C-alpha cells in the first residue's frame, strides 16, 4: 500500500510540475487565448467550411505565441469576409470594429481576445450547449485574472453584447442568459445570420460578392434602419426585458469574486472567492418567473462545475487570481513621481519555500514578521508585534533581495526599493514629505 501511495504522489507532483511550467510560459497562454478567440469568432459566423475554421484559429495562435497583438488582428481580418457575406450592414459595422482592434491591439489584445471568446462562444457552431459553459467559466476566470476594476469592463460589455446579438439574430444563446424573443419581433432580416457556409472552392468568390454587396444602394440606404433596430432592441433589453438585471447581477458577482480573491488568505482563497457565483442562481430563477423565460436547471450544474474547476485548478497549483498584484500596481503608481518600483512583482520565486537554504533566517522571518501579520489573533493574545525594521547583511549576490522579494510575495505586500538620493530634496521639509 505505501509504494502505491508514493507512486500516486509522484504522479501528482509531475502533473503539478508540468502545470507550473505551462503557467509560466506566457507565449503558450497567449497562443491558446488568441486561438480560442479566433475559433469562436469564425465559428459563430458561417462562411468558412467547418474543417477550415480550426486551421485558421491555429494560424492565429501560432503567430500569437510571439506576437499576440498580430494574432488577434489576423483573427478579426479572417472574420471580415464572413461578416460581409452574411450581412452588408454588419460588414460596415465590422469595419468600425476592425479600426478599434487595430488601434487598441498593442495594449489591449488580451481584453479583445477574451471578449471574443465570451461573446461569440454561445453562438458558435450551431450554438452547441458546451460552449455556453465556456462563457460562464470564462467570465469567472477573466474576473480573477484581470482584477476587480477591470472585471466590470469585461463582464458588462460581454453580457450586453450576448443579449443584443440574441435579439438581432433572433436566437437563444447557449450561455444561459434568457431573452424574451417575442418582444423583438418582427426580425430585421438584413441583420440576421441566414446564409450557410460556402465550399472551399467558392470561398474567394463569396468573399468578393459579400464585399461588393456592401456598396449596393439598398444596403447603404438600410444602414440607418439597421442602426435604429439595434437601438430599439437595446431599449427593450433594458426597460422591457431582464437585460438590466442580468448585467447588474453579473457585474456585481464577478466584481465580488475578483475582490475577494485578493482579500481572502490561505490555500483555498480562489475557491472561497467563487462562492458569490451562487448569487446568480436565485436571481435567474426570479427572472424566469417575472419575465416568463425558462429557467434551465442545467445552469445549476454549470455554476457548481465552475466553482469546482476553479477549486481543482487551485489544488493543482494554478494561480489565476491577479487581484493582489493589480492592487500593488495601483498602489505603487502613487509613487510614480520618484520612479519607484515594486520589486516584489518581479522574480520567479512565489514564496520563501522557493529560496534554497537560509532555513534559520526564513524561520526567524516567519516567526517575527509573518506570524504577527497573518495570525493577528495569536499576536494580540501574546502581545507580539512585528518589528519596525529588518536588517539583512551580507556580501552582494548572496540572496538578500531575493529573500525579501519572496517574503513580500508570500505576504502579498509591496516591496519598494528606495534609494536615499531619490527622495532627498534641497528644500526644507520636502524630504520628509516625500517619505510620507
Give pLDDT tens digits for 351-398.
777 777 778 888 888 777 777 777 767 767 767 776 767 777 778 877
| Position 6 confidence tier, pLDDT thresholds 50, 70, 90 | very low
DSSP 8-state secondary structure symbol assigned to residue 121: G
pLDDT recorded at residue 2: 45
Range 175-182 average pLDDT = 93
Residue 184's nearest CA partner among 223, 120, 241 is 241
Indicate the CATH number for domain 334-435.
Answer: 3.40.50.300
pLDDT greater at residue 207 or residue 417: 207
Range 407-417 average pLDDT = 75
Cell numbers that stand for 79 in this block: 472574420
The CA distance from 214 to 83, in Å, is 10
Residue 347's nearest CA partner among 394, 292, 409, 289 is 409
Range 406-431 average pLDDT = 71
Cα distances from 138 to residues 51, 151, 155, 315, 360, in angstroms, run 25, 11, 10, 19, 43
DSSP 8-state secondary structure symbol assigned to residue 241: S
Phi and psi dihedrals of 416, rounded to 5? -100, 120
Under 8 Å between Cβ of 303 and 132:
no
pLDDT recorded at residue 326: 77
Under 8 Å between Cβ of 154 and 118:
yes
Over 50: is that where the pLDDT of 55 sits?
yes
Q: Would you kindly state where each structural domain of the chain is located, as residue ranges? A: 1-125+181-240, 127-163+246-326, 334-435
pLDDT recorded at residue 1: 41
Over 60: is that where the pLDDT of 193 sits?
yes
Tens of pLDDT, residue by residue over 269-324, are 899 999 999 999 999 999 999 998 888 899 999 999 999 999 998 887 788 888 87
The CA distance from 403 to 353, in Å, is 10
pLDDT recorded at residue 7: 47
Range 179-200 average pLDDT = 90
pLDDT recorded at residue 314: 85
pLDDT recorded at residue 5: 43
Query: Is residue 4 within a helix (H) or strand (E), and if so which, with residue range?
Result: helix 2-24
Over 70: is that where the pLDDT of 100 sits?
yes
pLDDT recorded at residue 95: 93
The CA distance from 119 to 177, in Å, is 12
Cα 170 to chain centroid distance, Å, stands at: 28
Range 123-127 average pLDDT = 87
Highest mean pLDDT among 55-59, 143-147, 194-198: 55-59
Termini Cα distance of the chain = 60
| Residue 261 CB neighbours (<10 A) | 26
Range 339-354 average pLDDT = 67
Amino acid at each position: 500500500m505505501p509504494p502505491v501511495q508514493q507512486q500516486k504522489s509522484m504522479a501528482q507532483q509531475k502533473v503539478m510540475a508540468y502545470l507550473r511550467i505551462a503557467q509560466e510560459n506566457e507565449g503558450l497562454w497567449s497562443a491558446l487565448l488568441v486561438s480560442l478567440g479566433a475559433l469562436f469568432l469564425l465559428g459563430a459566423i458561417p462562411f468558412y467550411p467547418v474543417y477550415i475554421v480550426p486551421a485558421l484559429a491555429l494560424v492565429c495562435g501560432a503567430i500569437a505565441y510571439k506576437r499576440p497583438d498580430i494574432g488577434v488582428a489576423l483573427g478579426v481580418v479572417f472574420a471580415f469576409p464572413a461578416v460581409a457575406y452574411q450581412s452588408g450592414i454588419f460588414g460596415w459595422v465590422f469595419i468600425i470594429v476592425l479600426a478599434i482592434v487595430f488601434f487598441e491591439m498593442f495594449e489591449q489584445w488580451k481584453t479583445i481576445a477574451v471578449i471574443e471568446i465570451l461573446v461569440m462562444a454561445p453562438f458558435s457552431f450551431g450554438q452547441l450547449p458546451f460552449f455556453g459553459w465556456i462563457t460562464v467559466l470564462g467570465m469567472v476566470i477573466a474576473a480573477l485574472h484581470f482584477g476587480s476594476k477591470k472585471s466590470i469592463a469585461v463582464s458588462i460589455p460581454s453580457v450586453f453584447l450576448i443579449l443584443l446579438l440574441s435579439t438581432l439574430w433572433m436566437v437563444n444563446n447557449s450561455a444561459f442568459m434568457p431573452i424574451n424573443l417575442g418582444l423583438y419581433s418582427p426580425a430585421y432580416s438584413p441583420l440576421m445570420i441566414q446564409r450557410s457556409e460556402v465550399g472551399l472552392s467558392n470561398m474567394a468568390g463569396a468573399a468578393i460578392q459579400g464585399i461588393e454587396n456592401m456598396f449596393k444602394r439598398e444596403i447603404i440606404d438600410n444602414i440607418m434602419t439597421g442602426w435604429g433596430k439595434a437601438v430599439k432592441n437595446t431599449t427593450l433589453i433594458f426597460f422591457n426585458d431582464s437585460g438590466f438585471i442580468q448585467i447588474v447581477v453579473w457585474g456585481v458577482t464577478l466584481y465580488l469574486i475578483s475582490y475577494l480573491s485578493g482579500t481572502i488568505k490561505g490555500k483555498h482563497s480562489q475557491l472561497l472567492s467563487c462562492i458569490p457565483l451562487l448569487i446568480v442562481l436565485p436571481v435567474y430563477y426570479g427572472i424566469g418567473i417575472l419575465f416568463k423565460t425558462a429557467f434551465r436547471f442545467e445552469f445549476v450544474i454549470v455554476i457548481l462545475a465552475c466553482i469546482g474547476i476553479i477549486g481543482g485548478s487551485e489544488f493543482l497549483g494554478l494561480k489565476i487570481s491577479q487581484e493582489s498584484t493589480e492592487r500593488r500596481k495601483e498602489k505603487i503608481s502613487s509613487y510614480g513621481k520618484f520612479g519607484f518600483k515594486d520589486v516584489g512583482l518581479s522574480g520567479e520565486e512565489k514564496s520563501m519555500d522557493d529560496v534554497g537554504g537560509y532555513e534559520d533566517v526564513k524561520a526567524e522571518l516567519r516567526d517575527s514578521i509573518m506570524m504577527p501579520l497573518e495570525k493577528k489573533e495569536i499576536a494580540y493574545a501574546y502581545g507580539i508585534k512585528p518589528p519596525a525594521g529588518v536588517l539583512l547583511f551580507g556580501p552582494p549576490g548572496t540572496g538578500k533581495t531575493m529573500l525579501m522579494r519572496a517574503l513580500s510575495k508570500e505576504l502579498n505586500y509591496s516591496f519598494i526599493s528606495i534609494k536615499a538620493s531619490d527622495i532627498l530634496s534641497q528644500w526644507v521639509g520636502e524630504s520628509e514629505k516625500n517619505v510620507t
